[in-house]
Amino acid sequence: MSAISELSSFTRRKGKVTAEEKKANKRDNKAAYISLLPWLVGLVAITIGPMLMSLYLSFTDYNLLQPPEWTGLDNFTRMLSDARLHNSLRVTFTYVFIGVPLQLAVALLIALVLDKGLRGLPFYRSVFYLPSLLGGSVAVAILWKQIFGTTGLVNQVLAMFGIQGPGWISDPSTALGSIILLHVWTFGAPMIIFLAGLRQIPAMYYEAAKVDGASTLQQFWRITMPMLSPIIFFNLVLQIIGSFQSFTQAFIVSGGNGGPSDSTMFFTLYLYQKGFGQFDMGYASAMAWVLLLIIGVFTAINFIASKYWVFYDD
């Protein structure tokens, strides 16, 4: 009987402690919510609120000066006959489909070189990462415009060899290429991620491959690429999302007008012109949601396709 009494007493004490712990957890939760309150207010007021407002405006005719007038799907149907919008999509897709693979290829190549254990690795890593910090800035875009201008640095170097260079920025056939080159130049962020991924690949795989007589190229395709595929996938998704939203480079390099023959008229630049140049905020809001849909579709495609080429440890 004494044992049963002690067990009953222990159970009551345990229940009492649990109740006290619940009260302590509630106090901790309250403190956590109070700490998160500024972020939650910002999320609602700065992110969710404007997003819902833009969704409403996408179905209206709104010019900032008069109250929005409901027009239904008119803004979206207008896009079907908007030639400049179609051109902006073509330019943006070209920029993404060419710029992203080239940037990731250069980033991976530099990461492979740095992974060999060079002296002063932190210095080189910082130097190569610097363009990513500055690549989206106005100053670098202006510098790029000067480098590829008619009398810019590139043409000055070509002139030393008797070659008359074109106006890279003012020529419709090369204007977009110069901006793609600027995008490729900002390879620092994916390079750092690639470098971290390469450091996680066990050396024993390469040692076993060497024993089996595998060449360097075979080791790269059979070991490095499969083991690095999750990192490649991560970089690919991030860079595609970022590239679709590119704006500063095209705005500064093209002078804000889309460049010669609209050759650098990005979708975001055309959206800016419609919203803040022509004050057609309803149409601009509809364009913003189309861009969100495009990014969502490409992200979903990447996730669906990843099961065929991305390999994880398990």
Q: Tell me the pLDDT band of 10, cut-offs 50, 70 and 90.
A: very low
Q: Which CATH number fits domain 75-309: 1.10.3720.10, 3.40.50.1360, 3.40.50.10860, 3.40.50.1220?
A: 1.10.3720.10
CA–CA distances in Å: residue 59 to residues 80, 110, 234, 275, 284: 15, 47, 35, 14, 11
pLDDT tens column, 85-110? 999 999 999 999 999 999 999 999 99
pTM for this predicted structure: 0.83
pLDDT exceeds 90 at position 249? no
246-285 burial: b if 16+ Cβ within 10 Å, else e: beebbbbbbeeebbbebbbbbbbbbbbbbbeeeebbbbbb
pLDDT confidence of residue 108: 94
pLDDT tens column, 13-26? 544 556 666 776 77
Q: Tell me the pLDDT band of 62, cut-offs 50, 70 and 90.
A: very high
Name the more confident of 258 and 61: 61
pLDDT confidence of residue 313: 67
pLDDT confidence of residue 42: 85
The residue-averaged pLDDT of 129-142 equals 69
